[in-house]
Structure formats: structure tokens, C-alpha cells
Structure 1
Amino acid sequence: MTASNSLTPHRGEHEPGAITEPDVPGSGTPTLLDRVQRVMHAQATLGPAVVLLIAVIAFAIVSDRFLSAANISLILQQTAVIGTLALGQTLIILTAGIDLSVGAVMVLCSIVMARASSELGLPGPLALVAGFVCGALCGLLNGTLVTRIKLPPFIVTLGSMNIFFALNLWLSRGETIRGSDMSPLLLWTGRVITIGDTRLTYGSVMMLALVAVLGYCLHRTAWGRHVYAAGDAREAARLSGIRVDRLLLSVYITAGLVYALTAWILIGRVGSASPQAGIMNNLESITAVVLGGTSLFGGRGLIVGTIVGALIVGVCRNGLSLAGVDVLWQDLAVGVLVIVAVALDQWIRKVRR
């Protein structure tokens, strides 16, 4: 009997009519949706790349001018400012922070560069140095308030945004500084490189070079690994020996330098330094970062994804414009994309282990 009982299947495994345990999430054979979720969790830029590809194909069908060399060149030139600005924003968001002052810092740095050159008569290189020092100081202020006084990044940068815009208006006296009054070096980023029928500005090339530099720093250096660790689990990073406050301060200063570089690209792009430029660039930079697959909760995302996100915005606006869609509906489309991207990020973060 004992032997026969040992061969009897356990109830719930083979007996007809047995009550089976309900499936537990994450157990059993993964569904197709589970596999997609895991792939997108492992490859943060895959989703944005697919969206960009679909957008390009759709607008190429809608307008035969979309894929022309002149139009592609225009998209790349328009993306240079927002794309570069969003790279600095990416560094902040990777640490689970956010920077609402990016546009204000960029404009302030552009005014400092222009005033240093046009009114103080400084040579181009020294005017650029003044702008980069301004960007670093703005980053230092934000970083100090976040790390030393322990204020939330959202509140800190919301307040500093107004401070920097006020300084910008005071310094510029509300007037646009013409390119003809500046050193030619400040306008150099707007010069064009012709490759076949495609025209690229030096500013676009600088953006791509910055992608390579920041990508290397984030994935091939201890500093970059610490940035991801602090964004993913700050307390765990601190307990593992990472000096989190010093790290965050370095991130905000680095972001400030990136914003100063964007200011240089902006001057070359528009051929002047205007105190009214870039008012909405803070929101557009966040849009590019989110669409590029970087998580607003920190610790997940790639630099190259941010450029893909910026291209998605540029392609959508350009394609809708060619299709004759009003600017109002272009803004609506970008807003829908942002909400979808955040919802998708929430879903991806719940990947089954």
C-alpha cells in the first residue's frame, strides 16, 4: 500500500476535477506581450527607434518633399539646439531629478557670451569662456541647493528658472544683440558643411560629437556607472560607498556646461542673441528625453535615445507642417506622444522577473 500510494499523483497535479492553483504573475510560459516588455526593458531605445521609423515612413508617404535632402537638412538643423539641450537634461533625469531651468540657463549664457564680445570687446575665445563659466555657476547653484539644503530638484529649478530669466532680461536690457556686433567665433556654429545635397551646420556636428563623449562617460567610466546607480537606488548607492552628494553636484555642473554649449549653438543658429529665445525649451528638452526612453524615475536610459527623441519631435513637427496641419494640432500631437511615452515607461518598469 505504501508503494502504491507513493505512485499516486498528488491532488491538483493529474487528478480529473482537481482544483488547480491560479497562475501567478511571472510564472509559467511568458506571453508575447511579456517578451515584448522584457525586450523593451533591456533595450531602452528600441521603442523610440521604432516610433521614429514609423513616423518617417508615414510622412514620406504623405509628402514627397519629406525625404528630400533639403528637408532632412532642415530637420537636423532644427534638432541641434533642442537635442543638445536635452543631453544635459538627460544627465539630471538619470539621477531621478529634473531641471526646469535649462532654457533660462541657455539664454543667460548666450547673452553673457554676446555682451562679453559686443560691449566688453573680449575676443571670441574669452567670450565663450565667460559663457561656459556662467553655465557652470548656474549648475553649481542648482546642485548646491539640491545636495546641501536637500530641496527637491523640481522646486529648486522652478525657482532658479525665474531667477535666471530675470538676470537675462536685466543683463540684456530686453534687447536683442545682433550677430554683426559679435565675434565671428560666436557665429561659427551656424556655418554650413555641404555633404552631397545635404547641408549640416557645425552645431549639428557638435551635437553628435557630444553624444559620443557623454555616451562614453556614462558607459565606460566609474562616474557614469555611479550616475546610473544613484538614479536607480540612491540609498543603496550611498551604502555601497558612492559619495552621492558630490556625484549629483558634478552632474548639475556638467549639465550647466552642456547648456552653455547649447547657447553657442543657438547663437549660430539664429545669428543673434535674444533674451526671448528658448522660453519653451525647458519643456521641449524634457519631451525629447522622455520620448527617447529615459525613465523619469531615474537609473534607466541612454544618451543616444535622447537624440532619437529629439528627432521624433522634429520629424513630427516638420511632417505635420508639410501636411498642412496647424501648429495648434502639432502641439497636441507632441503632447499625446509624451503621455504615451510616460505610460509606456511605467509599463516597462513593471517587467516580470
Structure 2
Amino acid sequence: MRGLFASSPALGPFAALVVAVVFFSVATDTFFNLDNFSFVVQQSVVIGTLALGQTLIILTAGIDLANAAIAVFGTVLVTRLALGGMPSPVALVLGIVGCTLVAALSGGLVTRLKLPPFIVTLGMLAVMTAVTSLYSQGTTWPVPDGLLTVLGTQLYLFGQIQMTIGMGVALVLFVVVWVMLARTAWGRHVYAVGDDKEAARLSGINIDRTLLSVYALAGLVYGIAAWLAMGRTPTADPNAYQTGNLDSITAVVIGGTSLFGGRGGVAGTVVGALIVAVLRSGLTQMEIDSNYQNLATGVLVIAAVAFDQITRRRSA
């Protein structure tokens, strides 16, 4: 059983997700229905997408504390460009490119100056928070209807299951990144760098190039998260998603990706994001105070990291 969990890090979190769904379905009269399940998934889309980019960086034994701040900057940048008369497609592309460049800058500081990712992204968090507040003039801007909000469009799958276009876009994004990690040489390099940088270097992997590509791809994902956020809430708020970085890290860790790098993946992150959303939705419907919800989430994170550490020691 121990070997099974070690070889399939997402298996444990998936079992926890099933247990949580069963528990809240029994504990409340409102949790177990298609509309609520759809709402839970919709709630997890933005944080889940941020967690996808976070997964890439954590797999290399790094961390990104600025991911949510970068996405929020993207929403403000796109919105202000569009309101200023720029065509929405151009504004959207420039916003996504802007997010990519900011994250790539963090990657450049990590690779070129050999600075710790924690310090670099902590500084970038402060920088992007300030830049976004200044650029937005401290106010919330309405996102123009059309392309920028299209991902929030409601659809009905099979005529019954409520979903949004954004949910489909997020699913495609997750599948693409999963294929890149699981089926390409680049993905093998990412895991190798996270597992043991020196061994990866000796095997001929260009560590700096791999890390820079990871940060740039994560930034691209953050840009798409910004687009998803505009579809979900058609306002560009400089104060939005203030705990998005921590929520995304929580989803990644609960999903079985190791904070020490080299272990985990996209499937676990999907499950982790759903666990967080299910937990918050279920506890809210049980009328549990939000402080206890945060307490439960924190305990889950500590337990997940402790489990990962124990698993690593026993498999060493």
C-alpha cells in the first residue's frame, strides 16, 4: 500500500476527495446535487488554474508567491487597454504576454543571479501588488463585455449539467500541460531538475533553460487564469485574490505534489483544487464559521506535507 501511494501521489488525495463528498452529502441536504457540484467546480477554476502554474514551479523545487498578483495585474492591464480603445483580442494577448514576461523575469532572477525562488517571488509579489494598485489608480474597472468575459458564459451539458466555457478552457489547459509533463522530454527534464539538480546537470540537462521555460509557461498559465477571472467576475479589481497564492499552494500540496520537487503532477493538482472547493462549500452549507474553515484547510496542508516527508524518508 505504501508503494502504491508513492508511485501514484494523486491516489491519496482522490480518496480524500471522495470521502469529503460523501461526508458533506450525508451531513447536508443541499450538497449532493448537480447544480451544487457544478458551482463547486466553477469556484475552483481560477484557483485551480493558478495552481497549475504553481505546480510547474514546485515540481522544480521552487515556489511562486506572486502568481495571483501577476494574474490580477493581467486583469487590470487587459481591462484598461480595452477601455482605452484597444481591440479586445489585442488587449487580451498583450495581457497574457505581460503575465508571461513578469513570471519569466522571476525565472531569470532565479537562474542568472541564483537567488532563492521564495525570496524572488516574495519580492515580485510586493512589486506587482504596488504596480497593479498604481496602474488601476486604486479603483475597480468594469470589464467590457464580449471576448474578455466570454469564459463566464453559462452552458448546459446534456441539457442538465450547468457549466461555463471557462471550465472547458481550463480542462483543455490542464490536459495540454499534463501531456507536456508526462509525454515529452521537456517534462522529464522538469522532474529531473526538481528531483536532483546536480544529477540532472551531469546527465546533460540545461538546468537554467529548463527553469526559465517553467517560469515562462507558468506565467502564460497565470495570464489565462486572468482571462478566466474576468469571465467569472467581470470587474478588474486590484484587491482581488489576495490569498490566491496561498490557496494555489494549498491545492498543489494537498494534491500530492512535493514541495521538495520532482514528485507529483497535474492530476493531483486538479484533485487538490477540488478538495479545497468542496471543503469550503460543504463547511459553508453546514454553517461553519470561516475561521474554522481556514483552520481545517491549514491542518490539511500540514498533514499533506508531513505525509510527503514521511513517504520520502521511507522510500529513500
TM-score range, shorter chain: over 0.9
Letter in 2 for 1:251: V
1:69: Cα distance to partner?
1.4
Which structure dedicates a bigger proportion of its chain to helix? Answer: 2
Is the Cα–Cα contact under 8 Å of residues 38 and 351 in structure 1 kept in the other structure?
Answer: no
Residue correspondence of structure 1 range 248-259 to structure 2 within 5 A:
248-259=211-222
1:64: Cα distance to partner?
2.1
1:193 partnered with 2:193: no
| Structure-1 residue corresponding to 2:293 | 330
1:67 partnered with 2:42: no
- Deviation digits for residues 254-312 of structure 1 (CA, Å, limit 9, x no counterpart): 00000000000001101111111111100000000000000000000020110100000
Letter in 1 for 2:81: A
Determine which of 132, 139, 152 is the counterpart of 2:116: 152
| Structure-1 residue corresponding to 2:268 | 305
Determine which of 164, 167, 172 is the counterpart of 1:204: 167
Residue aligned with 1:301, SS:
coil
1:240 partnered with 2:200: no
1:167 partnered with 2:139: no
Determine which of 84, 100, 110 is the counterpart of 1:136: 100
| Structure-1 residue corresponding to 2:241 | 278
1:315 partnered with 2:278: yes
1:114: Cα distance to partner?
0.4
CA–CA separation in structure 1 for the residues paired with 2:114 and 2:167: 37
1:178: Cα distance to partner?
1.0
Is the Cα–Cα contact under 8 Å of residues 80 and 204 in structure 1 kept in the other structure?
Answer: yes
1:183: Cα distance to partner?
4.7
Letter in 1 for 2:7: A
Determine which of 213, 218, 229 is the counterpart of 2:192: 229
1:101: Cα distance to partner?
0.3
CA–CA separation in structure 1 for the residues paired with 2:235 and 2:48: 20
Is the Cα–Cα contact under 8 Å of residues 144 and 249 in structure 1 kept in the other structure?
Answer: yes
1:314: Cα distance to partner?
0.3
1:197: Cα distance to partner?
2.6
Given the two structures, how large is their TM-score scaled by the length of structure 2? 0.98
Determine which of 71, 81, 87 is the counterpart of 1:116: 81
Is the Cα–Cα contact under 8 Å of residues 123 and 183 in structure 1 kept in the other structure?
Answer: no
CA–CA separation in structure 1 for the residues paired with 2:32 and 2:187: 36
- Deviation digits for residues 127-186 of structure 1 (CA, Å, limit 9, x no counterpart): 11111111111112101100000000000000010000111001100111113xx25100
Runs of 4+, deviation exceeding 6 Å: none
Residue aligned with 1:298, SS:
coil
What are structure 2's unaligned runs of at least 5 residues?
A: none
CA–CA separation in structure 2 for the residues paired with 1:302 and 1:107: 25
Letter in 2 for 1:122: M
1:96 partnered with 2:96: no
Residue aligned with 2:288, SS:
coil
Determine which of 181, 186, 189 is the counterpart of 1:218: 181
Letter in 2 for 1:80: V
Rg larger for: 1
Residue correspondence of structure 1 range 48-67 to structure 2 within 5 A:
48-67=13-32
CA–CA separation in structure 1 for the residues paired with 2:283 and 2:44: 16
Residue aligned with 1:351, SS:
helix
CA–CA separation in structure 2 for the residues paired with 1:253 and 1:302: 18
1:203: Cα distance to partner?
1.3
Is the Cα–Cα contact under 8 Å of residues 41 and 351 in structure 1 kept in the other structure?
Answer: no
Letter in 2 for 1:155: I
Count of aligned residue pairs for this structure pair: 315
| Structure-1 residue corresponding to 2:146 | 184
Residue aligned with 1:350, SS:
helix
CA–CA separation in structure 1 for the residues paired with 2:177 and 2:311: 25
| Structure-2 residue corresponding to 1:79 | 44
CA–CA separation in structure 2 for the residues paired with 1:278 and 1:51: 26
CA 122–50 in structure 1, closer or farther in 2 if over 3 Å, else same: same
1:352: Cα distance to partner?
4.1
